[in-house]
Amino acid sequence: MSSGDTPISTRLSDMAAVREAFPILQQQMHGQPLIFLDSAASSQRPHHVIHALADYMSRYHANVHRGVYWLSEEATYAYEQAREKVAHFIGARRPEEIIFTRNTTEAINLVAYAWGDAHVQAGDRILLTLMEHHSNIVAWQLLAERRGAVLDYVTLDADGRLDLDSLDQLLTERTRIVAFTHQSNVLGTINPVATIAARAHAVGALVVVDGAQSVPHMPVNVAELGADFLAFSGHKMCGPTGVGVLWGRYDILSTMHPFLGGGSMISYVDEQRSTYADVPQRFEAGTPAIGEAIALGAAVDFLNGIGMDAIYHHEQELVQHALQQLATVPNLTLYGPRAAEQRGAALAFTLGNIHPHDIAAVLDQQGIAVRAGHHCTQPLHRLLDVPATVRASMYLYNTADELDRLVAGLAHVQRVLG
Ligand code: PLP
C-alpha cells in the first residue's frame, strides 16, 4: 500500500478519517467547504480506489485473457480477483455469475436483448413500476417494440410506496418479465424485493432488479433477494465510471445467447458461424474496462472495511435527521415515505413555486451540490405532477452538520428567490 492509501478499515464514528479518505471533499466550493449531496447520481472515490486505478495504469497495464507474459497475467489475475470480490460482496454463488458491463443501463439492456429477444412473444407483458429510472424503462420499451409486447406499470400509494394490490392485478400468466428498482433514486423508497420476486415467480415471470441505488447503500445478498438478475453501477459505490455489474443466476445465464459479438466472447469462429465462450466471457465482448473493474474491486474492499451494515445505519440516522430538519422549512414538499426505515438516503423536494434549477444554483453558490431536474424519472414526475424536483442524496461521508447547512441554505434560497 502506498503512502497515498487510506487504511481500508475506517470506522464511521471517526468521520474526520472517513472524509479524509476522499480527496475531493477537502476542497472549497465558492469559498465554502464543499457539501456533496449528489451521490445518487455518482459518488465520490476514496484514495484507495484512485490508487488502485493509477497502480494498474502505471505498473501492470496490459490486455486480459490474452497474453502469456507477466503483465497480462497480472492484469488478468487482478481483473478476475475483482470479479470474485464483487461476487462475494453480493453473496453470489460463483464468480461466473458476475458480468462486468459499462453500467446499470448496459446490464439491463443485456438482459432485455439476450434473454428478452429469445423469450418474449407478441402479446406478452412486461411489468415495471412508476418509480423506475429511464434505464429500467427504455430498455424494456425497445424490447416490447422488437417483440410486440406490452408494458404495464405498478402504481404507487400517496407515500410513494409500491401498491402491491396493483402488482397482483397486473401480474398474469402473460407477464414474462417483472423489472423494478430496489430503491428509488427520487423517493428513496426501498421496495420489498423478495415479496415481489416470489409473486412474479409464481406466474413464471423473470425478475430483474435495478440495484443501482441499493447495492452502494445497504447489505445486499442475492440469495435473499430471490431475483434472477441484479444490475448496478461502480460509480455509485465509490468505484470509477465505465464499469457496472450484471449478476445473474448461473442456470439462466448459461442458457442465454450473447448480447454483443466480437473478440473474447467466442469459442470458435468460422466464416459463417461461431460458437461462444462460457459465462461470463460470453457476455464480455471486446476489451473490458480492466482498470475500472480492478478499481471497483478496491471500492468493494473499502466498503467492506467500513461495513455495509454500518453504512446503512449511518444513512438511516442521516435520513431521520434530514426528515426532521426539512419538516421545519416553510413551503417545502418532500416526496416519498415519511418513515425513515422505509427509505434510503435520496430526498427529493420542491420549495413553493421556486424552480428547482434556481434552488440548486443558489445552493451551489453556498458550496452545496444537489441535483435538480427529473432525475431520469419522467413518468414518476408526471405522477407527482411536478416537472422537476431538487434532490439531496447522501452517502457514507455525509454528516448531520452538512444537512443543517442544507436547511440554512434553503432559508437563504427563500430570502433571495421566495
Ligand atoms: N437505475 C437507477 C435507480 C439509477 O439511479 C440510475 C442512475 O442514476 C440508473 C439506473 C442508471 O445508472 P447508470 O447511468 O450508471 O447506468
Confirm or reject: Cβ of 374 under 6 Å from ligand 1.
no
- pLDDT at residue 5 tops 60: no
Average pLDDT over residues 358-377: 98
Domain residues of the chain, as ranges? 9-38+307-417, 54-304
Identify whether 376 is a catalytic site residue: yes
Q: Three cell numbers at 374?
A: 427529473
Whole-angstrom Cα distance, residue 124 to residue 127? Answer: 10
Report CA(188)–ligand 1 centroid distance (Å).
13
Pocket test for ligand 1, best of 39, 104, 162 (most atoms within 8 A of CB): 104
* Contact (Cβ atoms closer than 8 angstroms) between residue 152 and residue 128: yes
- pLDDT at residue 284 tops 50: yes
Pocket test for ligand 1, best of 213, 220, 238 (most atoms within 8 A of CB): 213
Residue holding cell 441505488?
Answer: 213
Q: What are phi and psi of 349, to 5 degrees?
A: -150, 165
Report CA(128)–ligand 1 centroid distance (Å).
15
Class of domain 9-38+307-417: alpha beta
Average pLDDT over residues 101-122: 98
- pLDDT at residue 389 tops 70: yes
Confirm or reject: Cβ of 101 under 6 Å from ligand 1.
no
| 237 burial via Cβ count (<10 Å: 0-12, 13-18, 19+) | buried
- Sign of the CA dihedral with 331 first, then 334, 339, and 340 last: negative
State which ligand 1 atom lies nearest to the alpha carbon of 106: 16
What pLDDT does 186 receive?
98
Report CA(41)–ligand 1 centroid distance (Å).
7
What pLDDT does 8 receive?
61
Q: Which residues are registered as beta bridge partners of 32?
A: 29
Average pLDDT over residues 120-146: 98
Confirm or reject: Cβ of 103 under 6 Å from ligand 1.
yes
* Contact (Cβ atoms closer than 8 angstroms) between residue 403 and residue 315: no
What pLDDT does 199 receive?
98
Pocket test for ligand 1, best of 38, 42, 133 (most atoms within 8 A of CB): 133
- pLDDT at residue 6 tops 50: no
| 179 burial via Cβ count (<10 Å: 0-12, 13-18, 19+) | buried
Whole-angstrom Cα distance, residue 221 to residue 88? Answer: 9
pLDDT tens sequence across 329-338: 999 999 999 9
Report CA(134)–ligand 1 centroid distance (Å).
8
Whole-angstrom Cα distance, residue 390 to residue 356? Answer: 5
Cβ-Cβ contacts under 8 Å for 162 (sequence gap 6 or more): 129, 131, 154, 155, 156, 180, 189, 191, 192, 196
CATH topology of domain 54-304: Aspartate Aminotransferase; domain 2 (3.40.640)
* Contact (Cβ atoms closer than 8 angstroms) between residue 287 and residue 265: no
Average pLDDT over residues 223-251: 98
Confirm or reject: Cβ of 398 under 6 Å from ligand 1.
no
- pLDDT at residue 9 tops 80: no
Report angle CA 24, 25, 30 to the nearest 5 degrees: 95
- pLDDT at residue 360 tops 70: yes
Report CA(133)–ligand 1 centroid distance (Å).
7
Pairing state of beta strands 332-334 and 346-351? antiparallel
Q: Which of 37, 92, 368, 376 is catalytic?
A: 376
Q: Which DSSP helix (H) or strand (E) runs through 294?
A: helix 290-306
Angle, helices 308-326 vs 290-306, to 10°: value is 80
CA 146 to chain centroid: 26
Report angle CA 116, 120, 126 to the nearest 5 degrees: 85
Confirm or reject: Cβ of 181 under 6 Å from ligand 1.
yes
* Contact (Cβ atoms closer than 8 angstroms) between residue 102 and residue 245: no
The per-residue DSSP string of 128-153 comes to: EETT--GGGTHHHHHHHHHHT-EEEE
* Contact (Cβ atoms closer than 8 angstroms) between residue 107 and residue 101: yes
Q: Which of 69, 89, 101, 135 is nearest to 285 (CA)?
A: 101
Confirm or reject: Cβ of 38 under 6 Å from ligand 1.
no
Q: Three cell numbers at 150?
A: 406490452
What pLDDT does 303 receive?
98
Confirm or reject: Cβ of 233 under 6 Å from ligand 1.
yes
Cβ-Cβ contacts under 8 Å for 281 (sequence gap 6 or more): 65, 264, 265
- pLDDT at residue 406 tops 80: yes
Angle, helices 356-365 vs 400-417, to 10°: value is 120
Confirm or reject: Cβ of 135 under 6 Å from ligand 1.
yes
